[in-house]
Amino acid sequence: MPADGGQVADWFSKPGDAIGALMHRRGVTAEDLAAHLDGGVDELRSLLEGHSRIDGSSSEVLSQFLGGSSKFWLKRQENFEQALERAVEAAAEDADGWFGSVPIPRSRGRRPTTDKGVRDELRRRMLFYSVPTLASWEQRYGRICTETHFRRSMSFVPLDSAVLLWLRRGELEAELVQTRSWSPERLKERLDRIRQLTRINHPSRFLPKLRSICAEAGVAVVIVRTPKGCHASGATRLVTADKAMILLSFRHRSDDHFWFTVFHEIGHLLLHGADTFVDSDETPTDELEQQANDFARQCLIPPEREEEFIRLKAVRNSIIRFSVSAGIAPGLTVGQMQHRKMIEHSQMNFLKRRWKWDEIDHACV
């Protein structure tokens, strides 16, 4: 806001910002609120993102659960729409900059040819990233593109559009997750509970528990399929001052890869703080990645079991006995044996659990 107290011409705040803040303050979960909206969780998601309008029905629900009158919420929607249109009008002067820098899902890649088309595309980008100006986008996301820990060579490379879109979708999904304030200490205290989940077969059983345990430590665990061109397995990011995010893609849909990624990302959060990390199959092993790898490996195979582990051979019963006594699923033991070249990648894969997308998608509803 300017010093004289007047409103910045191109500034806007989505009603979803207020909805999310009040949900957090009042302890209202997405499930609680969505259950009373006509469109359920899809409507809540759309309200948070600014795509759906607050109408008479939704304003009554928001008033009941979050406070304020129905009239307040309707006015909040009206003010937002007016402010958004001012921002779009101002941004039209630099439309080429927006279209050249700011990717958007399902974009056909061509600059619109009509004034209405230009404004519609600018509006989509502003809403998706929740930024009113190109400068504000550069500050929050342009910097990520050049500074985040995403490496496909031995030096930093910019994040490509597909990875950035995946990260942003993860942020939007994280808004639906109610968490306590981010606490590395609480996350560390819960490592054993998380490790115990590796023995559960089905995503519909272990994912809700994983989310709940991590939420107690201020971490929103979200699952988002990667768009075309994005080969990421996991990412970490501090999405607000008091909420961290672990973003997972289930890229290989096997238990060894999934749980190693979970602990690898937890390692980034505990060892490397608020930095943004994106990990993919092409990520080389530098010092930070090696630290996260070592952390994940020790979570799966505790140091006191290391000597016994390295004596394992490609024998079904031996692997199962070790896994049971160590408290992890056999597939994770196999994955570690393969990764450390104790056995070939073609060996013992029948001990791994693999999931279909409909099993994963069902668990994410």
Tens digit of pLDDT for each residue in 313-359? 999 999 999 999 999 999 999 999 999 999 999 999 999 999 999 88
- pLDDT value for 146: 64
Residue 287 has pLDDT above 90, yes or no: no
CA 61 – CA 35 distance, rounded (Å) = 10
- pLDDT value for 4: 37
Mean pLDDT of 83-91: 94
The proportion of the chain whose per-residue pLDDT surpasses 70, expressed as a percent, equals 91
- pLDDT value for 363: 74
CA 262 – CA 251 distance, rounded (Å) = 12
**Model confidence over 264-279: pLDDT tens digits?**
999 999 999 877 888 8
The candidate with the shortest Cα–Cα distance to 259, out of 232, 289, 292, 299, is 299
CA 61 – CA 127 distance, rounded (Å) = 23
DSSP assignment letter at 303: G
Mean pLDDT of the chain: 89
Contacts of 313 (CB under 8 A, 6+ apart): 343
Lowest mean pLDDT segment, chosen from 134-148, 207-221, 284-298: 134-148
Neighbours of 271 (CB within 10 A): 14
- pLDDT value for 7: 46
Helix (H, G, I), strand (E, B) or coil at 247: strand
- pLDDT value for 276: 84
pLDDT-derived band at 140, boundaries 50, 70, 90:
confident
CA 166 – CA 233 distance, rounded (Å) = 11
Mean pLDDT of 172-180: 93
The candidate with the shortest Cα–Cα distance to 218, out of 240, 194, 203, is 240
DSSP percent split of the chain into helix, strand, coil, nearest 5: 60, 5, 35
Residue 160 has pLDDT above 80, yes or no: no
DSSP assignment letter at 140: I
At 246, the amino acid letter reads I
- pLDDT value for 6: 40
Lowest mean pLDDT segment, chosen from 108-112, 151-155, 201-205: 151-155
Residues composing the chain = 365
Mean pLDDT of 250-260: 95
Mean pLDDT of 273-289: 78
DSSP string, 205-234: HHHHHHHHHHHTTTEEEEE-PPPTT--EEE
pTM for the whole structure: 0.88
CB 206 within 8 A of CB 197: yes
Mean pLDDT of 80-90: 95
- pLDDT value for 283: 62
pLDDT-derived band at 145, boundaries 50, 70, 90:
low
- pLDDT value for 159: 52
Angle between helices 15-26 and 56-66 (to 10 degrees): 30
- pLDDT value for 284: 62
pLDDT-derived band at 3, boundaries 50, 70, 90:
very low
Angle between helices 330-339 and 255-272 (to 10 degrees): 70
Which residues are registered as beta bridge partners of 326? none
Q: 298: alpha, beta or left, given left = phi > 0 and alpha = psi -120 to 50?
A: alpha
- pLDDT value for 149: 60
Mean pLDDT of 254-271: 96
- pLDDT value for 10: 67
